[in-house]
């Protein structure tokens, strides 16, 4: 089972992600945005989108840092105070992301106009993201100290997959919650080319986070005036 989920399926999902993304980029470049619905509803979007993006981008930044320099993370964690700082910051940004994601889900479920524009892919993406964040927080809360065993066993597994010599022993004994977290991340990558997640791999949408407000208005034709009788 471990061999299938962590030794074989990663290649299928990564190939799907890379090939699908290249295909989508070359065939339909203009569908990269995350189809703004800001003009339909703005208040909850603001309360959801900002905490979600700031939270998840920071969490992912630390995941990526650990991926490239696991030794430095272990070195940093050697002093307990520094370990607590790292773990508590990860937890805080994880909760920020969860809060934002729940607000975005609430908005999709309750606003009739946004709901009308929501596709099956959007729902699937939200479910996958919710599982990812909840199991991530589960790792951080129940299986201490995540940043240490991330660097010592999850990262070597990822490198073994990338270097085409998958070694599932690194992850075989991790708790089920963590296995779901890892496999769900692969599903997330596989979903990128098919969903609004495509905006995730291009830089432009990140400017939403610091650019000033933009109000998108419906474009309406000017009222017809030729039949209006004018009285003097
Ligand atoms: C789509 C990709 C991913 C997302 C969105 C994501 C999200 C999260 C979130 C929100 C947290 C909780 C916040 C925190 O404590 O840092 C977390 C924690 C964690 N994630 Fe992920 N994750 C992803 C991929 C992965 C992968 C591929 C692995 C391992 C191979 C992984 C391993 C961990 C571990 C070990 C923790 C606990 C960290 C700690 O306690 O300090 N994550 N993740």
pLDDT tens for 141-196 read 999 999 999 999 999 999 999 999 999 999 999 999 999 999 999 999 999 888 76
| pLDDT value of residue 139 | 97
| pLDDT value of residue 106 | 92
3-state SS of 137-179 is HHHHHHCCCHHHHHHHHHHHHHHHHHCCCCCCHHHHCCCHHHH
Q: Tell the residue number behind the tokens 């660097």, with chain if given.
A: 151
Structural domain of 151: 2-17+39-205
- Compute, in degrees rounded to 10, the torsion defined by CA atoms 53, 104, 127, 120: -120
Whole-number Å distance, alpha carbon 45 to ligand 1 midpoint, is 24
| pLDDT value of residue 46 | 75
Number of domains in the chain: 1
Whole-structure pTM value: 0.84
Q: Which of 140, 147, 175, 187 to mutate to test the pocket of ligand 1 (most atoms within 8 A of CB)?
A: 140
218: three-class secondary structure by DSSP: coil
* Residue 34 counted as domain residue: no
What mean pLDDT is predicted for residues 105-130?
A: 88
* Residue 165 counted as domain residue: yes
* Residue 31 counted as domain residue: no
* Local structure of residue 201 (DSSP, 8 states): G
| Band (75; pLDDT cuts 50, 70, 90) | very high
* Residue 65 counted as domain residue: yes
* Residue 25 counted as domain residue: no
CATH number of the domain encompassing residue 114: 1.20.950.20
| pLDDT value of residue 68 | 97
């Amino acid at each position: 089972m471990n061999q299938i989920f962590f030794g074989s399926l990663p290649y299928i999902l990564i190939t799907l992600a890379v090939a699908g993304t290249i295909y989508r980029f070359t065939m339909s470049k203009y569908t990269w945005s995350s189809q703004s619905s800001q003009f339909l509803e703005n208040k909850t979007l603001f309360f959801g989108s900002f905490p979600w993006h700031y939270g998840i981008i920071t969490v992912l930044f630390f995941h990526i840092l650990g991926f490239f320099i696991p030794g430095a993370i272990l070195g940093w964690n050697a002093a307990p105070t520094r370990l607590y700082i790292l773990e508590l910051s990860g937890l805080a940004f994880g909760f920020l992301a969860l809060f934002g994601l729940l607000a975005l889900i609430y908005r999709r479920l309750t606003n009739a106009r946004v709901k009308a524009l929501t596709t099956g892919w959007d729902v699937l993406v939200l479910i996958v993201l919710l599982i990812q964040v909840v199991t991530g927080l589960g790792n951080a809360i129940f299986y201490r100290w995540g940043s240490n065993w991330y660097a010592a066993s999850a990262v070597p597994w990822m490198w073994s997959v990338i270097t085409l010599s998958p070694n599932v022993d690194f992850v075989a004994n991790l708790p089920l919650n963590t296995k779901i977290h890892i496999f769900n991340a692969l599903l997330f990558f596989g979903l990128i080319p098919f969903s609004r997640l495509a905006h995730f791999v291009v830089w432009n949408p990140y400017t939403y986070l610091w650019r000033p407000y933009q109000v998108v208005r419906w474009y309406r034709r000017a009222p017809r005036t030729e039949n209006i009788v004018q009285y003097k």
